[in-house]
Structures are given as structure tokens and as C-alpha cells.
């Protein structure tokens, strides 16, 4: 579970002073948090007296461990019209061992808060300690899963002692960045739990917050409509409900489950005095291990623009005014971050993909985001009724309508969808709407309104843009506001459909404006405008000294941006829309517009280009000069009004930037542990007979062989069981637990016995532990001497908690049963990452980076390790003699990517799926990928600048674990460029500590 804190970061004093809002139903006596700068009523969140629609996306900084790239993600949030980010922090990473709280480098919170301030993005902080998020143990620190005897996520005293230091440390880092201190933090949240099980635990968490300097509200996200923590023990300040209507199987991306029909009714039943909050709404899906898993592109289709149109607007129809999309940027679950069901990529099919590239989902997000930003009347609406109540209807029984209305301005919002939400058939219809001129039957001129297959629409009435008001529009609103003192309205619609609008034109028309033949205007008090099918590009509808009305087809509208013009630096909330500034412009054409600023008569734009584009700018008339990323747009042409056009082009193209072939590999065996000469005297003796992990051994002699009990919780763990052979031993029975899709390979002395395979086939047939008899080949025993069973075991992470079993996260990863066919074992030894979780040497890359392979313990994966004496061997040749075992392949390569370009790069395994091997891919020391050749599906591993040195030497190390004998494996690894974007976020610092000598490994 997780308590989330609503936290907003800002910087200067606000020159914009909105009309204060008095919250309904809240008084100083009933409010339990300690600031009136964040409050709410039954409609919406209210910040410093100003009503907002919280329009947020999820981003986990620990999945992008390059601090200088965080502004890139936040700028892309802001560029889509969003105003907030939801942030999980990860206890297991920040708190790697008891009493240690680490906020250095990419674990820091302060640079994230400062980047949010610079971007003008509010923060909802979600520190857990349990976060779920497809992370190992749901984010609970691994040490706590073995050191805590009490039940996790309860009021158990030792569990409270475990999480309290971490929560207090997050609080200390965050307090200076709360809204009452000029920061972006507006709230804090706790995650998905049952009140009957965790009520007292929530009270413990609340007590810590309430006795700290945190002053913002505490929120909760219910995993299902179960009324948890609204009232009673553990109740939070603001309740929210999560929703993932398409669930998480992307195998059939065109098959939809129906929309949820009961959001509004549930809200009215359980917390009608609060605004309707959706802390997590599906914006993608995670993907599972296995050959049946589809990988992430189908997840992006399942939750693509059509899904967003229908399902996001259904949230609007339920009157939700606080919405967070999970995930808006997924990133990479590198190292030991994942829980067993998922692989390295956490792309999530999100609108911003793992490589930070924008896709068609982002286009739809931007259309919705700018409507919300442009429409403050939408922040306070009453749910009037829908088709089922008889309040509103259409001429077609196949169309469903919900009617929302602002009680103060009478602005109306008619949200339309198909009755069958998955219908792919277009429907035409008429509708009767309420306006200030009375009831109107729409359309008035066009033949009909068309609702495309899997499409929702929003018809607005009595709609304000600046001081002007539109009577109605069946076209969609992209932008409404004021630019250079003129009221500007930007409408759009599908080019294959009719659209119409009615509004009162004002001012003196521009005599040079030529009317498009695709637009008909019937003059009147409210002029009636009809847009004929076939419109392509941007069309000026009306241009006067007081108004500018534009229309574009949908595809053209998605190429436009509306960057905020920040207020002077001394202004509080200088970059926050509607707080520090209400000024923006319109820019069309570029792949991304990041910032805009006007100094005198010069407009400076920054952003990214993918191709040469025509630049269209709608800005103040006083602008005489426009620059793009510091270069003057030389062919700028002013058109009618305040519209400017020119061309901007990237300096380099995809073909002009290259990456080298990966060659010059050096090789060394990484499994000396099976040699008779190997000395394990420095290893930890595995002799515990008690464990706080509740899942007990199946058989053996009472010793407990669970890695985490000995400090080895992450990645590969090695076990060595000694016995003196009499010659009667024929086999060993081993039960090995590694989590879904794990593997463990077993040797007797230096003789390969077999590999035990876990499994996962797209979350079906999940096998997280095995029980096998390993037969000893003739001649493999050292009769009368010491014999060693060596187990190389992959730990796929700890399970997330499940329902009423929070201790499921205390996973028995290791050996749950050991028994020789004759005789007994002597000493058992265990070795994981060097130093375990209390003394691991690589503090920069964190406790989750390394595992227990010999090469990892020795530091072979780190830049600067001397491999000059190693023999050459190409990676594609696999291990010598097609042996089962583990070997390290290392090479270096240089990159020379020009400054000022964002160039996504990936490592790609090109050989077919099905070979029995595992690869641990290290890039400059960072474990950036786990490739399971016999399961898949992941073969492509993006690695960002900052991990890669784009203008220097890089080290790639591949730990290859071949799991069968005499079965050739041929990993074929390439470096590929996934795109070239002229622009980027600026200079990216590289922080890849080099090898320093290690001992006792």
C-alpha cells in the first residue's frame, strides 16, 4: 500500500490572481491537514484558492537512472498540456539495508522537485513503503522481507520500525518542496490495500505524517470499488479509485472489454462530498515473460488513441476531476527491479515509450490535455444525467450521451460514445442540447453528426474563450484562450466528417483574410459555421482585431503545441499555467516544442525536430524575429493577423549518425566454483535453522537455504553443498525456488547434471519453484573425498503482496529442499553479490545492480577492468565446446554522437528465440537487460545517454549462462539507432564509476 502526498512545487510570487474559491463542505475543524493552500470541495482540487483539474501522468525516476533526462520527461508532460506528475519512490532502492537512507545521484528527490518547478508541474508523491508497480516485493526493501518477523503491511511493531526511517527520510527530503514553501508537492498517497487488514497500519503511517512537517493531504487509491479508507480506522483525507478496464493481456489488442458504467454512481454513493479522484487509470499494460507474450507494441494498440478517446472521456463523463494516467512514461526495470512476472522493459505501451519517443498515443493525450487546460469551466460541473436517465437522448439508439454542466456559467459538456463501446461502425445522429439561446437541435446545417467507430466526442455549449463565448460546437476544441489581447479559438475534427459551430464574431475583420471554400458561414447574432468534409491543414475561419478562429483536421491539430510563456523569474509559480502565467502561443509543425519565451520583439522556441517541417506560429503581432534552438528562422513570413510561417530543418539525418559494430570480444570463464581447486572458505556458511520467511523447507536436515536470510536477495545466487561420498550416492533431490520464469543449473563437482526450469507463458503456466532428482553420472563422484553440489540459481525478484497475504513478498528464494539418495550433506555455503545488501561496493549503481556470478563479484563488468590478457572469442560463438556454464564476454566501443541531438540507441539480440541461455547485459557497469533465450519475448534493450557515453568509450559485458550441454547457443548482439532528433534536453552527465580492485570474492 502507499500513502500518497499531494505536493506542488513552484518558485515565485503569483501575479495572476484568480477569483478565490470557497470549498464546500470543508471547515478548519473538519480538515485534518495543515495547510489551506491545498483543499478541495465536491467538485475539484483547489490550490491557493484556485480550482484546478489535476491532469497527471505516472513517472518513476528509478526506472530512468539518469538525472539529466528527468527534465526531458517532465517537459514532454507539460508539452501535452498536463499539469502534474505522480511519483512512486522505491524503499528497496533508497533504503538498501537497515538504517541506511541513500538519496545520492539518481535516488535523489530534490533534483526531481526542482525539475518539476522548472517545468511547471505539480507533484503527487507516493512513497509507499509498498508501491506494487511490478517491482520486486512491491518496492518493500528486501532486507525487511527477511529481517521482519511480523506480518508486512500491518501494525506489527518490527514492520513499523523497518519502514519508519525510510518514510521519515522521504519526508525530510520533501518538506522544503511543499506548496506552502514554494514547492510543487501538493499531496501524498498510499497504495491499494484492504482496510480490514491494514487499518491500524494506516493509522501508524498517518501518525508519522501528522507528527512531521508534511502539511498537505494524504490520499489513497483503492484497487477496486471496495470503499476502503473513506471512513473509520486509517481513513485518509481524499479517497481515490484505480481502474484498469482492459487488464494486462495484450495478445488480442483489438478485443476490448466494455467500459465501466458505474463510476459516477459509485462516487455518489461512497464519497459525494469529495471530488472524484482516479489515482491510477490505465494508460498501457505490463507484459509478461514467455513465448506467448506479445511484447509491448500490442499493448500500445490495446490502449491506443481509440481506447483513450473512449475510455478517458468516459472518466470525464463520470465527473472525475483528478486523473492520473499510469504509465505516461514507463522506462526500464533494469537490474533486480522487476517482480517475477515481468522482464526488463517497462515500456508499458505508454504514450512516451521506453526510448522517450512520442507516439500516436501522445497525440491523443495532447488533444485531450489542451482541451482541459483551455477550459476552466470544465473544472466545476454537475452531472446532470445521461441517456439512461432520460435527461438527454439522440436520434440514434446506438449513441450514448452524458451531460455535465457548470452551475455558475451554464457551460455545457455533452460527452458522446457508442452504446456498444467497442463498436467499430460509424453512426450518424442528431441531438438536442441546452444553450443560453434555448434548446437547439444539432446539427442545424450539416446532414448529421458522425461518431466514428471506437470514438468519443465532446459537444460544448455556452463555451468561453477569452471574453468571447461560443454558443455550441460539434467540432472539438483544441485550444481556447487569449493571445496578444485577441480571443483565440482552435477547433478540429476528422476530415471525413461534417462539423459545425455557432458563435458571435466581434471586432473589425481583417480585410486581407480569404474565406475557405470548405467553410460556410451564415451571419447572425451567433454566426453559424459549417465545416465541410475534406478540410486538410489549418484554415482561418475568422480573423479580426479581437478574435482569431481556426479549424484543422485532426491530423494537423496533433502537430500543434501551445507552450507556456513563463512569467518573470521573480514571479511565484512563474512556469505554472494559470498561477504564474496565463500567456501562451500556438506553434505548429515540430516533433516537439519544449519552451517559448519572448524578449522584446524576439520569440525564442526550443524543441526537437525529426524532419524538416513548416513552422506555423501564432504569437503577438509585435514579434519580428523567431529563433529555433538558438538559430534564427531566416525564411520567416508573416501572414494575416499574428500568424507567421517558416521552415525549420534538422542539421543531420538518421543516415548521417552511425554506431559501430560490436566486435573485438574478449572471453573468460565465470564459473570457477565447479573446479575441484575452488576455495569457498570466504563464502557465508548457510547454517540457519530459523527464518522470518514463513514458507518453510519441504525436506532436508532443518537448515534453511534462503538467499535473503544471508544478505543475498537480488539476481543470481550460488550455493555449494559439500558431502563426503561413500559411492552409494546415486542422485540428489533439490527443490529450488526462484520465482516465475527462473532457472537453476546444477553440477556435481565439475560434471553438469541438469537445469531446472521455471516457467511463464504470458502469465500462464507460471512455475516459480521446481522439485527434481538430479542423477549422478558414472564416475562423477570423488569417493572418500569432498564432493560439491553447485547450484547457479536466478532470483527473478520477490512477489508483490497478494490479497490477504502480505507476507507473500517474503519469498523463499533459494533451496527449499535438499536430500542425497544416500547419506547427508556436510556444510552448505552461499554467495550472492559481493558484500550482500549491507556492504555491496557499488553505491552509485545501487543494491539492485549486481548478482553473485564470479565475474560480477570480481568487477569484470565495470569500465576499466583490464581484459587485455583474456583470449579473443566472439559472442556469437557461445561458450567453448558448447558446454553448460557461465562465461563473460567483454568489449569496448566508441561513440561520437554530436551534441544537441537526442539519439535513442538499443542493444538488440538478433538470433531467433528458443536457445537455452540467459544473458545479463551490462553497459558501462549497469545491468541494463536480462535476456532469456528460451522464453523471451524481449530481445531489444534500450540504453539511454548518461549510461552510454555518447562522446567517449563504452564497455559492454555479457554474462552468458548456457543452460544445456552440447546444445549450441549463439547470441548475436547488435547496436542500433532507433531515431535521430535534433534538439534534446541539453548536456547529459555521464556517471559510470570505473573498476577499483576488489577482494574476497
Residue positions annotated with a catalytic role: 192, 280
Distance between CA atoms of 931 and 544, rounded to whole angstroms?
Answer: 61
Spatial separation of the C-alpha atoms in residues 855 and 1001, rounded to whole Å:
9
Distance from CA of residue 552 to its chain's centroid?
Answer: 31
Q: What are phi and psi of 278, to 5 degrees?
A: -115, 90
CA distance 399 to 396: 6
Quick one: CA dihedral 357, 358, 359, 361, positive or negative?
positive
Give the chain's length: 1001
- Alpha-carbon distance of 66 to 725, in angstroms, equals 52
- Distance, CA of 259 to CA of 421 (rounded, Å): 6
Give Cα separations from 317 to 259, 312, 417, 418, 430 (angstroms): 12, 9, 10, 13, 19
What is the number of alpha carbons within 13 Å of residue 581 lying toward its C-beta? 23
Q: Are 5 and 218 in contact (CB under 8 A)?
A: yes
Asked if 482 and 537 touch (Cβ cutoff 8 Å), the reply is no
Residue 165's SS3 state is helix
> Is the separation of the CB atoms in 227 and 209 below 8 Å?
no
Q: How far is Cα 160 from Cα 984, in angstroms, rounded to an integer?
A: 44
764-767, long-range: CB < 8 A, 24+ apart: 764/290, 764/292, 766/340, 766/341, 766/740, 766/741, 767/740
CA distances from 789 to 140, 725, 749 (A): 32, 12, 6
Phi and psi, residue 92, nearest 5°: -65, -30
H or E element in which residue 920 lies: strand 917-923
Nearest to 6, CA basis, from 286, 234, 322, 255 = 322
Q: Kind of pairing, strands 643-648 and 637-638?
A: antiparallel
DSSP state of 342: B
DSSP 255-319: PPPPPPS-HHHHHHHH-TTS-EEEEEEES----BSSTT---HHHHHHHTSHHHIIIIIHHHHHTT
Minimal CA–CA distance to 942: which of 346, 415, 71? 346
Farthest-apart Cα atoms in the chain, separation: 106
Mapped onto helix, strand or coil, the DSSP state of residue 866 is coil
With beta carbons less than 8 A apart as the criterion, state whether 787 and 759 touch. no
In this structure, the number of other CB atoms found within 10 A of the CB of residue 914 comes to 10
Contact assessment for residue 495 and residue 532, using Cβ atoms and an 8 Å cutoff: no
Beta bridge partners of 723: 787
CA distance 457 to 964: 57
**Residue located via cell numbers 537445469:** 755
E strand spans, 796-916: 814-820, 828-831, 885-894, 901-902, 905-909
DSSP 877: G
Q: Give the CA count within 13 Å in the CB-facing half-sphere of 347.
A: 25
* Sequence-distant (≥ 6) Cβ neighbours of residue 779 within 8 angstroms: none
Amino acid at each position: 500500500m502507499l500513502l500518497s502526498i499531494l505536493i506542488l512545487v513552484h518558485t515565485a510570487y503569483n501575479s495572476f490572481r484568480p477569483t478565490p474559491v470557497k470549498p464546500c463542505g470543508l471547515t478548519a475543524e473538519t480538515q485534518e491537514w495543515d495547510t489551506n493552500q491545498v483543499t478541495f470541495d465536491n467538485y475539484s482540487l483547489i490550490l491557493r484558492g484556485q480550482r484546478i483539474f489535476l491532469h497527471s501522468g505516472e513517472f518513476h525516476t528509478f526506472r530512468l537512472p539518469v538525472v539529466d533526462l528527468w527534465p526531458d520527461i517532465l517537459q514532454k508532460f507539460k508539452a501535452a498540456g498536463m499539469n502534474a506528475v505522480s511519483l512512486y519512490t522505491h524503499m528497496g532502492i533508497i533504503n538498501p539495508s537497515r538504517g541506511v537512507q541513500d538519496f545520492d545521484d539518481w535516488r535523489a528527490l530534490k533534483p526531481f522537485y526542482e525539475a518539476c518547478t522548472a517545468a511547471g508541474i505539480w507533484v503527487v508523491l507516493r512513497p509507499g513503503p509498498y508501491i506494487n508497480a511490478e517491482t520486486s516485493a512491491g518496492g518493500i526493501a528486501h532486507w525487511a522481507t527477511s529481517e521482519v518477523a511480523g506480518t508486512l503491511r500491518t501494525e506489527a511493531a518490527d514492520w513499523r520500525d523497518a519502514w519508519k526511517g525510510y518514510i521519515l527520510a522521504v519526508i525530510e527530503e520533501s518538506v522544503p518542496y511543499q506548496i506552502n514553501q514554494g514547492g510543487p508537492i501538493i499531496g501524498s498517497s498510499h497504495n491499494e490495500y484492504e482496510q480490514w487488514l491494514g487499518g491500524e497500519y494506516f493509522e501508524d503511517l498517518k501518525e508519522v505524517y501528522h507528527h512531521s512537517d508534511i502539511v498537505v493531504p494524504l490520499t489513497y487509491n483503492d484497487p477496486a470499488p471496495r470503499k476502503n479508507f473513506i471512513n473509520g480506522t486509517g481513513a485518509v483525507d481524499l479517497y481515490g479509485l484505480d481502474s484498469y478496464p482492459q487488464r494486462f493481456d495484450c495478445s488480442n489488442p483489438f478485443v476490448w472489454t466494455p467500459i465501466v458504467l458505474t463510476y459516477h454512481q459509485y462516487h455518489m454513493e461512497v464519497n459525494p462530498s469529495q471530488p472524484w479522484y482516479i489515482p491510477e487509470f490505465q494508460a498501457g499494460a505490463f507484459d509478461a515473460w514467455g513465448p506467448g507474450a506479445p511484447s509491448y507494441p500490442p499493448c500500445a494498440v490495446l490502449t491506443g488513441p481509440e481506447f483513450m478517446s473512449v475510455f478517458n472521456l468516459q472518466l470525464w463523463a463520470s465527473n472525475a476531476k483528478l486523473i492520473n494516467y499510469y504509465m505516461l512514461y514507463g522506462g526500464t526495470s533494469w537490474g533486480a527491479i522487476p517482480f517475477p512476472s515481468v522482464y526488463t522493459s517497462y515500456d508499458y505501451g505508454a504514450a512516451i515509450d521506453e526510448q522517450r519517443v512520442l507516439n500516436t498515443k501522445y497525440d491523443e493525450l495532447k488533444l485531450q490535455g489542451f482541451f482541459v487546460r483551455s477550459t476552466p469551466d470544465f473544472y466545476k460541473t454537475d452531472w446532470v444525467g445521461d441517456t439512461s436517465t432520460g435527461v438527454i437522448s439522440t436520434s440514434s439508439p446506438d449513441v450514448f450521451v452524458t451531460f455535465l454542466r457548470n452551475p455558475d456559467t451554464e457551460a455545457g459538456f455533452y460527452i458522446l460514445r457508442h452504446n456498444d463501446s467497442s463498436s467499430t461502425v460509424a453512426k450518424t445522429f442528431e441531438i438536442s442540447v441546452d444553450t443560453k439561446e434555448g434548446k437547439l437541435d444539432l446539427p442545424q446545417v450539416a446532414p448529421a453528426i458522425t461518431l466514428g467507430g471506437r470514438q468519443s466526442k465532446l459537444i460544448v455549449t455556452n463555451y468561453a474563450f477569452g471574453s468571447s463565448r461560443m454558443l455550441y460546437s460539434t467540432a472539438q476544441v483544441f485550444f481556447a484562450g487569449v493571445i496578444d489581447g485577441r480571443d483565440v479559438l482552435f477547433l478540429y475534427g476528422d476530415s471525413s466528417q461534417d462539423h459545425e459551430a455557432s458563435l458571435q464574431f466581434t471586432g473589425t475583420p481583417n480585410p486581407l483574410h480569404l474565406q475557405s471554400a470548405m467553410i460556410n458561414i451564415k451571419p447572425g447574432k451567433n454566426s453559424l459555421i459549417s465545416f465541410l468534409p475534406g478540410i486538410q491543414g489549418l484554415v482561418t475561419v475568422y480573423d479580426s482585431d479581437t478574435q482569431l478562429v481556426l479549424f484543422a483536421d485532426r491530423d494537423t491539430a496533433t502537430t500543434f503545441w501551445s507552450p507556456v510563456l513563463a512569467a518573470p523569474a521573480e514571479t511565484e509559480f512563474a512556469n505554472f499555467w494559470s498561477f504564474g502565467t496565463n500567456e501562451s502561443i500556438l506553434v505548429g509543425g515540430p516533433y516537439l516544442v519544449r519552451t517559448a519565451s519572448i524578449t522584446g520583439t524576439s520569440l525564442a522556441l526550443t524543441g526537437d525536430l525529426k524532419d524538416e517541417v513548416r513552422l506555423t506560429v501564432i504569437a503577438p503581432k509585435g514579434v519580428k524575429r523567431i529563433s529555433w534552438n538558438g538559430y534564427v528562422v531566416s525564411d520567416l513570413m508573416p501572414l494575416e493577423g499574428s500568424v507567421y510561417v517558416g521552415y525549420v530543418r534538422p542539421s543531420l539525418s538518421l543516415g548521417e549518425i552511425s554506431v559501430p559494430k560490436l566486435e573485438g570480444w574478449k572471453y573468460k570463464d565465470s564459473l570457477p566454483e565447479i573446479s575441484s581447486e575452488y576455495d569457498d572458505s570466504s563464502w557465508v556458511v548457510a547454517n540457519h535453522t530459523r527464518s522470518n520467511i514463513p514458507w518453510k523447507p519441504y525436506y532436508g536436515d532443518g537448515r534453511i537455504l534462503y538467499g535473503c536470510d544471508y544478505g543475498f536477495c537480488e539476481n543470481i545466487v550460488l550455493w555449494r553443498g559439500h558431502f563426503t561420498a561413500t559411492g552409494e550416492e546415486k542422485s540428489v533431490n533439490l527443490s529450488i525456488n526462484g520465482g516465475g520464469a527462473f532457472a537453476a543449473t546444477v553440477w556435481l563437482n565439475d560434471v553438469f547434471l541438469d537445469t531446472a526450469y521455471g516457467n511463464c507463458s504470458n502469465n500462464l503456466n507460471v512455475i516459480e519453484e521446481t522439485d527434481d532428482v538430479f542423477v549422478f553420472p558414472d564416475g562423477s563422484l570423488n569417493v572418500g573425498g569432498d564432493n560439491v553440489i553447485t547450484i547457479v540459481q536466478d532470483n527473478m525478484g520477490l512477489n508483490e503482496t497478494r490479497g490477504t497475504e502480505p507476507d507473500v513478498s517474503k519469498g523463499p528464494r533459494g533451496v527449499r529442499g535438499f536430500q542425497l539418495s544416500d547419506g547427508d550433506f556436510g556444510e552448505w555455503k552461499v554467495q550472492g553479490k559481493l558484500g550482500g545488501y549491507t556492504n555491496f561496493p557499488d553505491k552509485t549503481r545501487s543494491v539492485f545492480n549486481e548478482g553473485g556470478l564470479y565475474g560480477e563479484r570480481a568487477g569484470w563488468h565495470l569500465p576499466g577492468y583490464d581484459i587485455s590478457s583474456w583470449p579473443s572469442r566472439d559472442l556469437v560463438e557461445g561458450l567453448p565446446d558448447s558446454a553448460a556454464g557461465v562465461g563473460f564476454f567483454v568489449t569496448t566501443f566508441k561513440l561520437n554522437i554530436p551534441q544537441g541531438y537526442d539519439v535513442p540507441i538499443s542493444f538488440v539480440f538478433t538470433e531467433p528465440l528458443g536457445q537455452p541461455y540467459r544473458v545479463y547485459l551490462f553497459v558501462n557497469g549497469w545491468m541494463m537487460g536480462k535476456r532469456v533465450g528460451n522464453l523471451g519475448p524481449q530481445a531489444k534493450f534500450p540504453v539511454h545517454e548518461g549510461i552510454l557515453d555518447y562522446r567517449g568509450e563504452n564497455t559492454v559485458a555479457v554474462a552468458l549462462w548456457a543452460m544445456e550441454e552440447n546444445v549450441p547457443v549463439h547470441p548475436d548482439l547488435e547496436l542500433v539507432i532507433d531515431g535521430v532528433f535534433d534538439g534534446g534536453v541539453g548536456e547529459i552527465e555521464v556517471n559510470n564509476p570505473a573498476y577499483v580492485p576488489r577482494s574476497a570474492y
